[in-house]
Structure 1
């Protein structure tokens, strides 16, 4: 019996089979979960294709987390497939690579900053609240970050958004804990995902991890990160909330 046996999980942000979200969905299924996935817009057709590799093929919901109507309709859309949710994976982020990344921090206008914060941080709260009527006691929300406690070259307003995401998770933990709902974040090292490719100079992170990660780091292997997500979705962390769990080969613990 898997650690998610009998649980229903929504994985938001599955785009490509190299993504952390895809691997989390795959492992969640292996561990016994019924999985639903979501995406929106032009990415939705890509999601529909990539989930054909999963067994069973999960339902794909159209969900733009910046669209209030989509969020309001989400509970009914989920109920077409399952009657409740036990977990939510928030793997959603966006910052305009032309204006908000790549060393343009001091020149980025508010509209682009607002978009990054809305999609990458606020959406964890709005999506969680949209799912809240579906949650059972013991439900788990898991988000994804790239260590927002420090600055990174070129990461700029996405770094600010990730710091906001981490804070958002802590406040969700604070306010939803009394209802038995946990909220945690997994902080992954650099992985060869579409999101990383959008960061100007993002490949330079690989050299840093190759040199400094105590356990080493394989930027092509999303499995360790996905396993951490699945573990946090399970009942094996019943008293852990408001936490940032690092899956980065230990680099966060090292100095220069």
Structure 2
């Protein structure tokens, strides 16, 4: 029996089979979970195609986290496929190119980054809450927002806000039996990473700094951590940030 046997999970962010979310969905199914995916707009067809590469093809529901109507109807629409949820993976992030120029970024670019990449964690958790009357687990993906990283700029600020949001959610959803944690992954070569200018700044040095080494093409260690947190193996852990980065976070310069 797998660690997610019988659990029902909502997984956002599956775009390509290189996506961390894709590997979370794959491992979750292998561990016995029933999975529902989300996508939106022009990427719906891409997600539906990629979903066929999973062990079992899951349903895909539309969710734009900037669309209040999508959020308000999410529980009803997901409920057409599963009778409840035990866990939610937040793997959503976006910043306009202008947000990667810290001093020159406009508020429009910054506010978009904060809305999609930070506020959406609260919005998604609240939207899914009616399907978790007996509690559950919300897990988000971050890139350690405690530091001022090269080239990350306002996306780094958004990730810091995302991590803070997870702690406030842990406070407010804990009494409802819902745990909220984030996984801080090292750099993974995903579609999202390609949108970050000079992403190879991280790629070229991370493996040298990581005591355990690091493979930017391997999303499985991160996905396994997410699945563990989505399981009931961490029943008293919430408001936590788990690092899956080869150990870089613990090293000095």
Q: Does 1:249 align with 2:246?
A: yes
**Runs of 4 or more above 3 Å deviation:** none
* Structure 2 unmatched ranges of 5 or more: none
Q: Does 1:123 align with 2:120?
A: yes
* Structure 1 unmatched ranges of 5 or more: none
How far apart are residue 136 of structure 1 and its match?
Answer: 3.7
Cα distance in 1 for partners of 2:120, 2:33 equals 24
Counterpart among 191, 204, 220 of residue 217 in structure 2: 220
Which digits, 9 at most, give the CA deviation of each residue in 1:160-219, with x for residues without a partner? 000000000000000110111000000000010011111111111012212110000010
Q: Does 1:188 align with 2:200?
A: no
Which residue is equivalent to 2:237? 240
How far apart are residue 55 of structure 1 and its match?
Answer: 2.1
Matched position secondary structure for 1:140: strand
Matched positions, count: 253
Q: TM-score, normalised by structure 1?
A: 0.98
Cα distance in 1 for partners of 2:157, 2:103 equals 13
Calculate the aligned-residue CA RMSD, in Å: 0.7
Which digits, 9 at most, give the CA deviation of each residue in 1:61-84, with x for residues without a partner? 011011000001111111111110
Matched position secondary structure for 1:38: strand
Q: TM-score, normalised by structure 2?
A: 0.99
Kindly indicate whether the alpha-carbon contact (under 8 Å) linking 1:138 and 1:238 is maintained by their aligned counterparts in 2: no
CA separation of 1:136/1:7 partners in 2, compared to 1, >3 Å: closer, same or farther?
farther
How far apart are residue 45 of structure 1 and its match?
Answer: 1.1
Cα distance in 1 for partners of 2:246, 2:191 equals 21
Which digits, 9 at most, give the CA deviation of each residue in 1:90-136, with x for residues without a partner? 00000012x111xx111111111110000000000001000000014
Which residue is equivalent to 2:204? 207
Matched position secondary structure for 1:10: strand
Which residue is equivalent to 1:171? 168
Which residue is equivalent to 1:66? 66
Kindly indicate whether the alpha-carbon contact (under 8 Å) linking 1:15 and 1:47 is maintained by their aligned counterparts in 2: yes
